[in-house]
A and B are shown apart, each in its own frame.
Chain A
Amino acid sequence: MRLQTGPAPKFIDRLIEPFVSAYRHRELIRVIVWRELAQRFRGSAIGWIWAIMTPLVMLSAYTIIFSGPVKISSTPDQAGVAVYALSIFAALIVFNLFTELANRAPTLLHENAWFIKKTIFPSDVLAWIALLRALVYAGISFLLLLAFKLILSGTLPVTVLLMPLVIVPFCLFLLGITWFLSALGALTRDVFHLVASLMPILIFASPVFYSVRELPAQTQVWAYFNPLAGYMEMMRDIVLRGTAPDPLVFLSAAAVSLLFFWWGHAVFRRYRSILIDVI
């Protein structure tokens, strides 16, 4: 491993730096992600089935609750219950992916202290590892979503193919958040508790149980200030409604995500030299 010093990097180098680092350490990322996945299910007899069970239970719970005891204003009639449950499920995939990373990020460096303090380990790579791991679970949920959509309407909309357009910027957003929160979480453990206590609020501040389109017109713009809202609606658009995402929603979500990505990485970079000494 070489320590790099030299002239100040150009702006473009700064922009591609996070990707260069991930590419350079791709073997390490692959080995550790694979190890974490294998480890999670080792010692449980039906291993991977748990990964499918959890989202399945979640989906059934919403269907049962909203078809029976609970009626909220936007709850549709009996025929629409399954559609409504899928709509919640689609948004929850986005939400769960976010919470998994946001909850884990503040302790990410502590958890891997034995790597980054004792060996030559590129600590910025931990965010990629956490993301890939979470993506595997989100992927399972997404396949379930597709399966149920197929059962419900007999066919899948072509717009499902637009999925990369949604998932790539969302991943960049998540990476930025993870870098930021892990740097902050290493400096003070309060961040962990702060994030954990904000999550229950966030689920209602995001269009999980409702759709942004049901909100009054003047509120809709504000709703999209929450980056998760855009991704939730785009997810519903391409999988459930079968329409292309609103270009304005897409562009603003992608722009915000890219900003978060670079900003999060810049913060991590900035504090990297201090982090090692405090954990």
Chain B
Amino acid sequence: MSSDWMIRAANLGKAYEFYPHYADRFKQLVWGRFKTYYRHHWVLRDINFETLRGKSLGIVGRNGVGKSTLLQLICGITYPTVGDIRVQGRIAPVLALGAGFDGELTGRENVLIGAVMLGLKRGEVRDRFAAIAEFAGLGEFIDQPVKFYSSGMYMRLAFSICAHVDPEIMIIDEALAVGDAAFRDKCLDFLNRFRAKGSIVLVSHDTKQIAQMCDDALWIDRGRIRASGDPQAVVAEYEAASKAERDDPARFVIEEASSAAR
């Protein structure tokens, strides 16, 4: 097998535990060896894919099918229930709204913490601060507490930090949707240049973006890969299915799956 992969998932699955009563969680802790108090809800199952170095991956799918969970697994924020996910390279995640900022702190302070968290040294952050602030384009608001930011301003800051920490993999979860057109174009320009040296994992409901930016695409439906491969084809298939299947509320039913898998 090629050693040139950047992200590799093998039989990856993630289940959350659902407890009927709050106290059951405590009972599980004490008596877990003898009895199971929860039922598993499989958010992702049988996920297999491999992204090569320098290639970009697009992920499409409807709300609540496990796209964000997959990104969290890639980032190592949450852990697989079964299977294996491996990543080689430095990740910078621009996850959906509310990406890891402390609301009480100013934009400037969050830049320092955020960038150090992604692996920069304090000195490096200081050197790059001007560039980060300029890219974010928040003006004087950079010294205001982040809790006063709008969702667009939030995303500007988050994207700007991630763009300046020398990542090898950028993970973008629908973040571009909240930016205004001018900023979105700036981000897309950046990502197009970034593609030359790194990988992008892009979750987006803008299927055109996926088709343009990505070398590979996954369509996730109810926790499984429904189609994968050429982005144009996957996106077309997804759109056709969306039209045909309409908005089916049965999607959100918690599966009565067997809880034996752990």
Q: Which residues of A contact B (CB under 8 A)?
A: 1-3, 5, 27-28, 30-32, 35, 39, 114-121, 184, 187-188, 190, 272-274, 276-278
Give the residues in chain B near A121, CB-CB below 8 Å. Answer: 77, 100, 117
5 further interface pairs, Cβ-Cβ under 8 Å (given A1-B75, A27-B122):
A114-B100, A120-B77, A120-B118, A274-B17, A277-B78
Q: Name the interface residues of B193-208: CB closer than 8 Å to any CB of A.
A: none
Contact between B122 and A187, CB atoms less than 8 A apart = no
Whose C-beta in chain A lies nearest to the C-beta of B101? A114
Interface range on chain B (Cβ under 8 Å from partner):
35 or more
Q: Provide the bound-state CA to CA distance between A203 and B80, in Å.
A: 43
Give the residues in chain B near A32, CB-CB below 8 Å. Answer: 113
Give the residues in chain B near A3, CB-CB below 8 Å. Answer: 76, 85-87
Number of A-B contacts (CB under 8 A): 86
A277-B87 contact in complex given A32-B113, A117-B77, A119-B114, C-beta closer than 8 Å: no
Q: Provide the bound-state CA to CA distance between A1 and B98, in Å.
A: 21
Q: Name the interface residues of B1-31: CB closer than 8 Å to any CB of A.
A: 16-17, 25-26, 29
Whose C-beta in chain A lies nearest to the C-beta of B90? A1
Contact between B114 and A39, CB atoms less than 8 A apart = no
| Nearest CB in chain B: distance from A112 CB, A | 9
- Contact sample, A vs B, 7 pairs, CB 8 Å cutoff: A1-B76, A1-B87, A2-B88, A27-B121, A118-B98, A119-B99, A276-B77
| Nearest CB in chain A: distance from B146 CB, A | 10
The one of B25, B87, B95 in contact with A187, judged by C-beta atoms closer than 8 angstroms, is B25
Q: Provide the bound-state CA to CA distance between A64 and B51, in Å.
A: 71
Give the residues in chain A near B101, CB-CB below 8 Å. Answer: 114
Contact between A118 and B100, CB atoms less than 8 A apart = yes
Give the residues in chain A near B16, CB-CB below 8 Å. Answer: 277
Give the residues in chain A near B109, CB-CB below 8 Å. Answer: 35
Q: Name the interface residues of B100-145: CB closer than 8 Å to any CB of A.
A: 100-102, 104-105, 109, 112-114, 116-119, 121-122
Contact between A5 and B84, CB atoms less than 8 A apart = yes
Contact between B26 and A187, CB atoms less than 8 A apart = yes
Q: Provide the bound-state CA to CA distance between A87 and B221, in Å.
A: 67
Contact between B105 and A119, CB atoms less than 8 A apart = no
Give the residues in chain B near A5, CB-CB below 8 Å. Answer: 84, 86
Q: Provide the bound-state CA to CA distance between A200 and B117, in Å.
A: 38
Q: Provide the bound-state CA to CA distance between A3 and B77, in Å.
A: 10
Q: Provide the bound-state CA to CA distance between A278 and B32, in Å.
A: 16
Contact between B79 and A273, CB atoms less than 8 A apart = yes
B176 within 8 A of A: no
B220 within 8 A of A: no
Q: Provide the bound-state CA to CA distance between A277 and B93, in Å.
A: 18
Whose C-beta in chain B lies nearest to the C-beta of A184? B29
Q: Provide the bound-state CA to CA distance between A184 and B26, in Å.
A: 9
| Nearest CB in chain B: distance from A105 CB, A | 16
Contact between B100 and A119, CB atoms less than 8 A apart = yes
Give the residues in chain A near B98, CB-CB below 8 Å. Answer: 114, 118
Give the residues in chain A near B75, CB-CB below 8 Å. Answer: 1, 120
| Nearest CB in chain A: distance from B111 CB, A | 11
B91 within 8 A of A: yes
| Nearest CB in chain A: distance from B32 CB, A | 10
Q: Provide the bound-state CA to CA distance between A64 and B91, in Å.
A: 59
Give the residues in chain B near A31, CB-CB below 8 Å. Answer: 112-113, 116, 122
Q: Provide the bound-state CA to CA distance between A276 and B101, in Å.
A: 17
| Nearest CB in chain B: distance from A29 CB, A | 10
| Nearest CB in chain A: distance from B23 CB, A | 8
| Nearest CB in chain A: distance from B135 CB, A | 19
The one of A35, A118, A272, A273 in contact with B95, judged by C-beta atoms closer than 8 angstroms, is A118
Q: Which 3 A-B pairs have the closest CB atoms?
A: A119-B100, A273-B79, A118-B100
Q: Provide the bound-state CA to CA distance between A27 and B118, in Å.
A: 11
| Nearest CB in chain A: distance from B151 CB, A | 14
The one of A28, A30, A276 in contact with B79, judged by C-beta atoms closer than 8 angstroms, is A276
| Nearest CB in chain B: distance from A37 CB, A | 13
Contact between A39 and B86, CB atoms less than 8 A apart = no
The one of B88, B93, B102, B118 in contact with A114, judged by C-beta atoms closer than 8 angstroms, is B102
Q: Provide the bound-state CA to CA distance between A1 and B26, in Å.
A: 33
Contact between A188 and B26, CB atoms less than 8 A apart = yes
Give the residues in chain B near A1, CB-CB below 8 Å. Answer: 75-76, 87, 90-91, 118-119
The one of A27, A30, A39, A188 in contact with B105, judged by C-beta atoms closer than 8 angstroms, is A39
Give the residues in chain A near B100, CB-CB below 8 Å. Answer: 114-115, 118-119, 121
Give the residues in chain A near B25, CB-CB below 8 Å. Answer: 187-188, 278
Q: Provide the bound-state CA to CA distance between A147 and B230, in Å.
A: 73
Q: Provide the bound-state CA to CA distance between A198 and B93, in Å.
A: 41
Whose C-beta in chain B lies nearest to the C-beta of A119? B100
Give the residues in chain B near A2, CB-CB below 8 Å. Answer: 87-90
Give the residues in chain B near A39, CB-CB below 8 Å. Answer: 104-105
Give the residues in chain B near A35, CB-CB below 8 Å. Answer: 105, 109, 112-113
Contact between B99 and A118, CB atoms less than 8 A apart = yes
Whose C-beta in chain A lies nearest to the C-beta of B119? A1
